[in-house]
Structure 1
Amino acid sequence: MEKLRLRTVLGNHPHVRAVKAGELRSDLFELEFVEFAPTNAAFKPMVREQAFDVCEMAVVTYLMAKAHGKPLVLLPAAMLGRFQHGHALCRADGATLAPADLEGKRVGIRSFTTTTGAWIRGILANDHGVDLDRIDWVTFEDPHVAEYVDRTERAPKDKTIIQMLKDGELDAVLGETSNDPALKPLFADPAAEAERWYRRHGVVPVNHLVVVTEQLAKSRPDVVRGLYDLLKRGKIGAGPPRSPDLVPFGIEANRKPLELIIEYCVQQALIPRRFAVDELFDELTRDLT
């Protein structure tokens, strides 16, 4: 019998290299990879049209999709995790701008609903006392979830986020990195800040997990379990994880990151209520370890 073919979007991460290269396979299905650069360009068609069977997905996008009843099922398989303090920039000239100085300033972000943005805003609000409502937010893209009402200022279509920062049209930007000498990190020592933050919270900020369509999960739970097992084999084969593990697998390994990003999303009115972590999974994926 011909194997089930699954249209799949996964980024080029080290722990999925063997899966994407076909070195690790399943007897149940074939993964037909669709490449997106950047990977986040696939999130909107996945949320709005269920354009793929399997798709890497930003955590905040999934939480918002869940809140609006999109037929997607989450797998506790992290594709991307990182400490966020190095993903905020300001200009290198002029007076020093500290995180606590952002109130009353114009801050750019690709989309208000990005997961990196939600993590950094949560850090600003909860660890640096910043009132997020007193920042003038400037965005460049629509949210992936169409039902979300975006009340931010939209940048002119001919403008780019980094150039607006360099030109003084923005005071800071979130979700960006740059080697341009005209720019510097908003946090004076991002690595040290991240280390302090991790000691305080004990959480790895997970950005991307994996979703499948509800149709696939209901019709072929064996395939969904096989997909998770395949991805887990890929991670194990990539070598021992660093400490802390930035791409945790399993519900319990992802519980603390999910609890915290849910809290940040509620604070920032990205989702209407506080989900319990177990609500994010179905009967099958809730048991994956």
Structure 2
Amino acid sequence: MAIPSKYKESITPLAIKFQRAFSFFPRRICLISGAPRSGTTALCEWLGHQEGVSAIPESRILVSVHRFMEEVQRFRNLEKDSQLIFGMARGLVYDYYSSSRILMTKSLLVDKEPLEPIAFPSKEYEQFIVNTRLLFPEAKILLAIRDPLSTIWSMQARTWGESLTSAGARRFTLEEYAENWSSCAELVARHQFEPNTYIVQFGRLVNDPMNESKRIFEFLHIRNGIPFQPRPTHSVGFTKEDQANILRIVKPQLELLASKGISEL
């Protein structure tokens, strides 16, 4: 029998207080990352509907702690105690997650952080992945990659900055979007064979959802999962000139990915 919403409102704070008191927390963590608009949202929503999984998309806590870790490593007197401080930071992340959602019945927690210039104004995309690994060495990381034209078309269709407290929404140039995609593609190529890392080629997930879903479920140790169900996507409407300019910028990265067998974008 379903619990009426008015009772859920009173149960939730008690459950959260209980799980924090007894440190109930999912045994496993997964970070979904990659270029913005590369399928990270679809991945997070899909995995969040699997049994035993809780998804907290773009919590920003990992980004914030990453910035803190960068400052720790910048100062000599803090850097020498970095392992102790990082352990404290790990506890902060756990505490934030357990304050945000009832997690007692979950075995896997999924967070999503696209590598975009609003969240990472210094464009330290790779260092964010490195610091996440330092924080949670056993975490699983899904790096999504999608074809550049579809990704950049989706990027330019929205404004950025809504998650910030004070900055106004802004847009970027097509060249900046292409450079962002290129940086993320290079990161994917470098981390392809890193432990606990899986490269999600969005084209393969859409074109062969049954088999690719199985591979992702095996990577994340999800049993009896519901396969990914592709949704219609918007057509790319670039002019021939803009399309040619984008492809010129991203050509080296496309060739790099292809040389590593990453071509089903």
Determine if the TM-score, normalized by the shorter chain, exceeds 0.5: no
Higher strand proportion (structure 1 or 2): 1
TM-score, normalised by the number of residues in structure 2: 0.29
TM-score, normalised by the number of residues in structure 1: 0.27
Q: State the structure with bigger RCO (CA 8 A, min sep 6), 1 or 2.
A: 1
